[in-house]
A and B are shown apart, each in its own frame.
Chain A
Amino acid sequence: MSKIKPSKGAPYARILGVGGYRPTRVVPNEVILETIDSSDEWIRSRSGIETRHWAGPEETVAAMSVEAAGKAIADAGISAEQVGAVVVSTVSHFSQTPAVATEIADKLGTDKAAAFDISAGCAGFGYGLTLAKGMVVEGSAEYVLVIGVERLSDLTDLEDRATAFLFGDGAGAVVVGPSKEPAIGPTVWGSEGDKSETIKQTIPWDRFHFGDRSGLPVDSQGNIKFPAITQEGQAVFRWAVFEMAKVAQQALDAAGISADDLDVFIPHQANVRIIDSMVKTLKLPEHVTVARDIRTTGNTSAASIPLAMERLLATGEAKSGDTALVIGFGAGLVYAATVVTLP
C-alpha cells in the first residue's frame, strides 16, 4: 500500500487580527416607531437598543465583508495573498449560489484562497472560528479569514412590534493563524433541532415565490410580506440565559479557565437583558469587561461577536492578550462557545 504524506500544520492557532464594518446610516428608535405602536422606553427596557446601523444599496454583504476583512488583515500584519481560506457566515446573502465567500476572496486580492459560506445563524462566528482553528492546526491553510456578515434589515418585518427594533446590519472579521501557545480553547458547540420553531424565517423562499400564496401574512398595504425572521421571545430568552450559561461554563471548564481568570465576556449581542442575565447566572466577577455593543449596533447575528470584539479593543475597554469567553447562540437552535486570547 502506498504511504500518503501527512499535512503539516501549526502547533496551535490564534486570532491575529480583527476588523469591523458598520453601515453609515444610523437608525434611532424614533424611525422604528414610525411602523410599530411602541415607545423608545419600551424598546430600550426590553432590548437595550438605542440605535442600529442599516445598510444602504451599496453596502452589500460582499462590500461590507471586504471592508471588515481588509481591516482584520491589516490588523494581523499579513497580506491578502497569505490568506489560504475564507469562511463566511451569513443568513442574509440572497444569491443562493455561488457562495459570497468567493467574491470576497477575489475582491480582497487573495491568491485563489479556498472560500465557502456556512449557515449557523447567530452561532456562525464560533462555528467559523472552530473550522479555521482546525485548518490552521491541520495545515490546509496558514491563515484563515472568518467573516460574520448580515443585512438583517432585509429580513425584518417593520410592522412586527416584537422584532422590528431588534436587528441591525454589519460585518465583523478575524484572521486566524499559527501560534506557539494555545490561544483558542476547545469549542463547546451543538444543535437542538427540536427547537427549530423558536427562531425562524416566517415563510420559505419557494412558498413566497411559487407556491400557494393563500394564507400568507400581508402588510398594512395588503401586500404579501417579504420573508422575515421571527422568534418566540420568552422561549428564546429562557434558553439563551439558562441553557447557554451552562454551555459558557462548559467552555470555561474545557479551557481550564476560571471566571476569576477571565478578562472579557463577549456573548452574541442578542438582547442586553439576555446579556445581563447571563452575567448574573454565570456569577462573573466585577472585573470582567462585558460587551454591550448591542446598544448602538442592534442584533447583527453572526457579525455581532467580532464587531463587539473590535469595538472593545478600539475603545481600550479590552486589550491585546486579554482572555475572553465568546459564545454565540441562535436559530437552529445552534450554539458555540470557546475561550480565546484577544489579538
Chain B
Amino acid sequence: MTDLESVSNLQQTAESNVLVNVQEMQFLLDKAVAWGQADSPDTLKDTCLHLNRLENFLQQLLTYINSMKSTAETMKKLPFLGQFLGRLCWNPCVTAGGTSRGLLLQCLLGLYSEHPSNAVERKANQWIRKVLCQLATDEDDAAAQAFMRRMGVPAKEYHLRVLQKMVAQLQENIGQSCCSQSSIDQRCSCDSTLATSDLVVPLVTCPETFPLICSLLQQPVACVRETLSENFLDTLSFAHSRLPLEEQGRISVWYHSLPSLEEAVLGLLDSVTETRPSLLKLEQEVTKSLLPKACAQHCSMFLVANDIFRSVIKQAEGNQSVKSVIHTFTRCFWRELSLLKPQTSASLKAFFPQSPPSLLIPLLTMPSEMPREAWKNHSKWLSSSLQKLTEEEEGDGDSTSTRGHHSVFEAWFLLVQCEHWVQVAAQLLVTSGPEDCRPLLWLLTFYHHPTNRWHHRASQLEKAKAAWDHLHAISSDLNDPLPVDRLQSLIALLSPQPQMPPPASSLILSLVVEFAVFCQLPLRAATDILKTVVAQPGLSEEAACVLSSLQLRLNEGGCSSSDRVQLRINHLQNTLTDVKA
C-alpha cells in the first residue's frame, strides 16, 4: 500500500487528530455480515478469534465518535457506522464479552444527541433507543417468555439461572475423563472441552462463567489432542491479572501457555529488581507469585524459569539483586518440592539436567539440615570440587572451549541458586585459621568472580586473602586502639586503582560484615571497623544488604543464633542506618 492510499483509508476528525481506519472497518463489517448469516458454532468461533481486534477497533471508534462535533457529521464521515454497530448488537459473542459490550454500548450512547438539531440526528436517536430497548428486552424464545410471565419470574433472574445451570452442566461434562487413549479416531470429551474453551473466550470477564473457566484450566493434559484452544489461553494470560483465578487456575494458565509463564517470570524479576525489597519481603513476593509452587508441580515450568534466569544473569551477572532473586526463588522452590516429595516422581536430575550431578545434592542441602560441626568440611569439600571442575575445564589448554565454559557456568549458576553455602563459608572464615581459609576464600571468590579471564579470579583471590589477613589480625588483637594501619590497608583494597581490575568490593565487604558480627572483638570495636569501611561511597547499602541476608539465614530453619549475635546484628544495622542518614 502506498502512503497516499493509506492516508485515504484513514478518516480524520476535523478538530483533532483522531483517526479511524476505514479499511479495518470494512473488514470488520464484512465479518459482521458473515457472522450474522449463520448461527453455527464456527461463526461463533470466528467471532471469538477476532474479538480482540474488534475491541481495539471499537476503542478507536469510540474516541473518534467522542471527538466529533455532532452525530450528523460522524454519520456523514462514516456512512456504514449504523449498520456496523447494529449488526454487532445481535452477535452474542460481542454482547457477551465485557469489554466489547461496554465499548459497543458506549459507541451507541456516544452517537445519541442530547439536543438533536436535524432530521439525521433525530432519526439516529430513535434508532438508538429502539436498538437498546430490543437488546435489553428481546426474547427470541416465545415459550420461555410466556413461561416467565406465568411463573412470575423476572427475566433477569431467569437468564441468570439458565446461565448458571449451563455452566454447571458444562463443568460436569468437562470433568468426565478422556477416553481417546483407546482409539485416536474416537470422539472424546476432549473435543467438547476444546470447543468449549474456544467459545468461552468472550466470557472470561463474566463472573457467572468463571467456574467453567477454572474447570477448563484444571483439565489434565492426558489426551493426544489439544485440549484447550490457543485463543483461550492467550486471552486468559492477557486477562489473568483481572481475574480472581485460584492458585491452581493460575498455575494451569502457565502450564498450558508458555508466553504467559515467561511473562510471569519476567514480571517477577522486573518488580523485585526495581523495588529492591528487603530479603524478607523478597521471599514473600516470590512465594506470593506462586511460581515456585508451580515449578515444583511441573518440572517443565522450572526448566523454563531457570532458562530465563540464566539469560538474565548472563546480562547482569554482577547484579546482586538478580542473584538474590534466583537464590530466593530456588529456596522457595525447594521448600515447595519437599512438600510435594511423596507424590512427585520427577527426579532431581530432571529439574537440574545441566548441573554437575555430584554437586547437586550437596549444594541443595540447606545448612540447617546438617550439624554445625560438619559445615566446615562440607564447605571445603564444595570448594575443592568446584575448584577441580574449573581447573579441568579451564586447564584443557583450549580455553575458548564452549563446552568448558558451559560447565563452569552451570556449576556457578547452581552455586548462585544455592548461595547459602557461600554465606556459610563467609561466616566460617571469621573463626578459621590460616590453614582452612584458602578453600573457603576460593569458594567466595568463585561466587563473586566466576571466571579467570573476565573476572580475574586469581588476582581477586589474592586480594581477598589480603583482606582476610588484615581482618584476622585486627580481630585477634583485643587491645585498644584498633590498628589503624591495618584498617587503612583494608580500605585501600576496596578503592578503585588505575590499571587494575575493579575492586572486589562485594566479596571484601561481605568478609568485613561477617567479621563484625562473629568476631571476638567487643561490639564497639566491631562497629568502628564497619563504620570506617562503609564510609567509602556506596558501600553502606550493600553492607546493610549483606547484614539482612545474614539475619534471614540465621533466623531460618532452626539455625538458632545466639542472643549475642542477634544483638550485634541489630546494633550494626542501626549503625548503618545512622551512617546513611
**A and B co-occur in one complex:** no
Please give the residue numbers on chain A whose beta carbons come within 8 Å of chain B beta carbons, in ascending order: none
